Amino acid sequence: MLGDAQTGALMSTAQIAAIQKAIDRAAALLGADPARAEAEIRAVLAAAPKDPRALLILGSARRRQGFAGEAKALLEPLARAFPKAALTQYELGLCQAATGDATAAAASLRAATAANPDLADAWKALGDLLFAEGDVAGAQDAFAQQARASVTDPKLKPAALALYRRDYASAEALLRQHLASSPETGPALRLLGEVYLRQERFDDAETVFARAVQVEPDHAGGRFSYASALFRQQNAALALPIVEDLLSKRPDEAAYLNLYAALLSLVGDDDRVIAIYEGLLQRYPKQAPIWLNHAHALKTVGRQADALAAYRRCIALAPQSGDAWWGLANLKLAVFDASDIAAMTAQLARPGLAIEDKLNLHFALGKAAEDAGDDDRAFENYAQGAALRRAQRPYDADSVTQDRRRAEALFTPSFFAERCDVGDASPDPIFIVGLPRSGSTLIEQILASHSKVQGTMELPTLGLIAQALDRESRAHGGAGLPDALKSLPHDRFAELGVAYLEGAWIYRRGSEPLFIDKMPNNFRHIGLLHLILPQAKIIDARRHPMASCFSAFKQHFAQGQGFSYDLTDLGRYYADYVALMAHIDQVLPGRVHRVIYEDLVETVEAEVRRLLDYCGLNFEPACLKFYENTRAVRTVSSEQVRRPIYREGLDHWKRFEAHLGPLKDSLGPALRTWRD
């Protein structure tokens, strides 16, 4: 029906049909040729000057040609006349956003989504607007609604709604039921992958998204989600080409750029990371998460003053950001004053504060209290933060002990003798293993100051290989690792060694013949490591258990250290680590070189010479001046290794000894035998 009833009454049925056809034709042209669409629709308006559909198309055509102000003037009276017309409100919102009226744009876009909750484009525009305005929670909700509204298959809508409502169990059940009868359904696979991604089941998410990409290889959203799942497992080698291809088609997409920067950070391309964040901040100066990521990147390359300013800017935009407060604490500069402590305390009392922010604030307040000498209050905050994280990430200490015992039973002298000629003979990697906060970053910095050694970072590569082997074994009814190594064909060990070297290649940016992999938890895969790379060097970085464990307890790690949030778990983990390494010393004598942190601090040059001898390297004075090395450092010890060795922290844990009884008890004999 025409908007101008009087004109419509004078028109014949044929004329009305012709106008309808012209409107449809103009609408179809909008995306590809808005100028031609405008010409077509002006002809319609000559005959029916008040037709709302034609006016809407004209407004859209003018906006698309860069005349947003003129388009807004056309659409405002139309929106007042038809307040529940979703497309009109959507188009007006786009015009208002383009002319800088964010408040009015948000209102129009909300009106559009209220009129039609399944208008995915309006949700996307609202999310983009809120993102630019710094409303992170609002933007995330809008994007989640966009994902829900984008599901057009009626059979999948209940699952999409359950996903949006965070009812992951129902969503998974509905999607599995659907996929049982239609296994090649790309939308269902993507939805299931999203369910797993939000539950932090990253391995499952990767598998499902990989299948979705096989089914619909050109679906950009599916490929982006697949890359996101890979990133969450630190698999930059597979994720980077995917994101680079996405960016080749949409180079300004903020979500792509943000993921790209995160992936480049994993492989150590810090200059490009910082450049990307600087570009994003020019476009989105109100986005606290981008300021936070920028601050982390600046800290990595040693730009402390710039990092501090970026953290402060993030806090100014989002004072509840526990991650930013903890980032400041991690600068190790004792930067907190009374006003900071009051601000953090006030944020902790804020209703509805996210758990992630709450636990980070506790860790930051712990650091502030420790710097001020209030050790009881410091420990109380550390314990509260750790308890919150422990509740989020359950940890099974018994399974770690069982894995250690299985490894001890499997790894006998005869087992290794039967496989004495397996693996790849490359001498390139130097592995540093042990517990976090045991001096591994210092050892890395010393070695990376040698002309023949490149320091990389804590590489996920060996862990990913172990994970794949374990999954493969269990899929065939096996017991997983380490038992799977018993039946592994001997030629597979060399293949896995090559796979490790190829996976690590992306992290090697210099021409040095040797490189360091500083992932501490690789000690759990030490048998596999020896078998696939028998010529690689293995250094065990060890520190007094009370010092090492308490330092880990008060450090909120980004990921991967689930044992560190409970003193009893920490003691057991340390004891299992010491026991496994002692077993390896027995069955492979001399294979592992041990560096005791306390000895390194007391007799630096002697320990450095011993370390270099083990690695087959000549002594170089630069290794004693490691603090002059300007390389990027990605661990929480980054600031400490930029200054000479100091011994003040050796017994720091004793200030908190009254609180560490559960740790002492769980360490057991390891408290006495850790040096043996």
What is the reported pLDDT for 2? 37
| Three-class SS state of 246 | helix
Which residues, at least 6 apart from 435, have a Cβ–Cβ distance to it below 8 Å?
A: 520, 541, 542, 543, 548, 549, 552, 573, 574, 577
| Residue 159 contacts residue 190 (beta carbons within 8 Å) | no
What is the reported pLDDT for 184? 84
> Checking DSSP bridges between strand 429-434 and strand 537-542, what pairing results, if any?
parallel
- What are the start and end residues of each CATH 3.40.50.300 domain in the chain? 397-673
Q: Across all residues in the chain, what is the average pLDDT?
A: 92
Q: Is the pLDDT of residue 98 over 80?
A: yes
Q: What is the pTM of this model?
A: 0.84
| Residue 261 contacts residue 293 (beta carbons within 8 Å) | yes
Residue linked to tokens 């004793």: 654
First-to-last C-alpha distance (Å) of the chain: 90
What is the reported pLDDT for 561? 85
- What are the start and end residues of each CATH 1.25.40.10 domain in the chain? 5-185
Which residues, at least 6 apart from 598, have a Cβ–Cβ distance to it below 8 Å?
A: 543, 544, 650
What is the reported pLDDT for 261? 96
Which residues, at least 6 apart from 183, have a Cβ–Cβ distance to it below 8 Å?
A: none
Long-range contacts of 150-159 (CB under 8 A, 24+ apart): 150/120, 151/187, 151/191, 153/185, 153/187, 156/185, 156/187, 156/188, 156/191, 159/188, 159/191
Tell me the CATH number of domain 5-185, given options 3.40.470.10, 1.10.357.10, 3.30.70.100, 1.25.40.10.
Answer: 1.25.40.10
Q: Is the pLDDT of residue 397 over 60?
A: yes
For residues 221-244, give the mean pLDDT: 94
CA 534 to chain centroid: 32
Helix axes 157-164, 168-181, angle to 10 degrees: 160
Q: Which helix (H) or strand (E) holds 369?
A: helix 355-371
What is the reported pLDDT for 557? 82
What is the reported pLDDT for 644? 62
Q: Which amino acid belongs to residue 53? A: R
| Residue 193 contacts residue 224 (beta carbons within 8 Å) | no
Q: Of 208-217, 276-285, 435-444, where does mean pLDDT reach its minimum?
A: 435-444
Q: Which strands, in side-by-side order, build the sheet including 514-517?
A: 453-457, 514-517, 429-434, 537-542, 592-596
Q: Is the pLDDT of residue 291 over 90?
A: yes
- The pLDDT tens digits of the residues spanning 621-663 come to 999 988 887 655 555 444 555 556 666 678 899 999 999 999 9
- The pLDDT tens digits of the residues spanning 347-396 come to 999 999 999 999 999 999 999 999 999 999 999 999 999 999 999 888 99
Length of the chain: 676
| Residue 533 contacts residue 448 (beta carbons within 8 Å) | no
| Three-class SS state of 541 | strand
What is the reported pLDDT for 646? 64
CA 298 to chain centroid: 17
| Three-class SS state of 471 | helix
Torsional class of 515: left (φ above 0), alpha (ψ -120 to 50), beta (otherwise) = beta
Residue 92: pLDDT band (50, 70, 90) is very high
Give the pair of three-digit tokens for residue 124. Answer: 């996307």
Q: Of the ranges 37-51, 402-416, 554-568, which is most confident?
A: 402-416
What is the reported pLDDT for 3? 43
Alpha-carbon gap, residue 342 to 415, rounded angstroms: 60
Q: Which helix (H) or strand (E) holds 53?
A: helix 52-64
Q: Is the pLDDT of residue 533 over 80?
A: yes
Residue 31: pLDDT band (50, 70, 90) is confident
Give the pair of three-digit tokens for residue 607. Answer: 């320990």
What is the reported pLDDT for 638? 46
Strand segments, DSSP code E, in 477-550 are 514-517, 537-542
What is the reported pLDDT for 8? 46
Which class is 397-673 in CATH?
Answer: alpha beta
What value, to the nearest 5°, has the Cα angle with vertex 544 and ends 584 and 520?
55
What is the reported pLDDT for 6? 43
Q: Which helix (H) or strand (E) holds 429?
A: strand 429-434
Alpha-carbon gap, residue 311 to 300, rounded angstroms: 13
Alpha-carbon gap, residue 579 to 501, rounded angstroms: 29
Q: Is the pLDDT of residue 666 over 70?
A: yes
Alpha-carbon gap, residue 58 to 16, rounded angstroms: 19
Q: Is the dihedral of CA 417, 418, 420, 424 positive or negative?
A: negative
- Classify residue 133 by its DSSP letter: T
What is the reported pLDDT for 136? 85
What is the reported pLDDT for 11? 64
| Three-class SS state of 32 | coil
Q: Which of 444, 358, 485 is nearest to 641 (CA)?
A: 444
Question: Between these two residues, 9 and 208, which has the higher pLDDT value?
Answer: 208
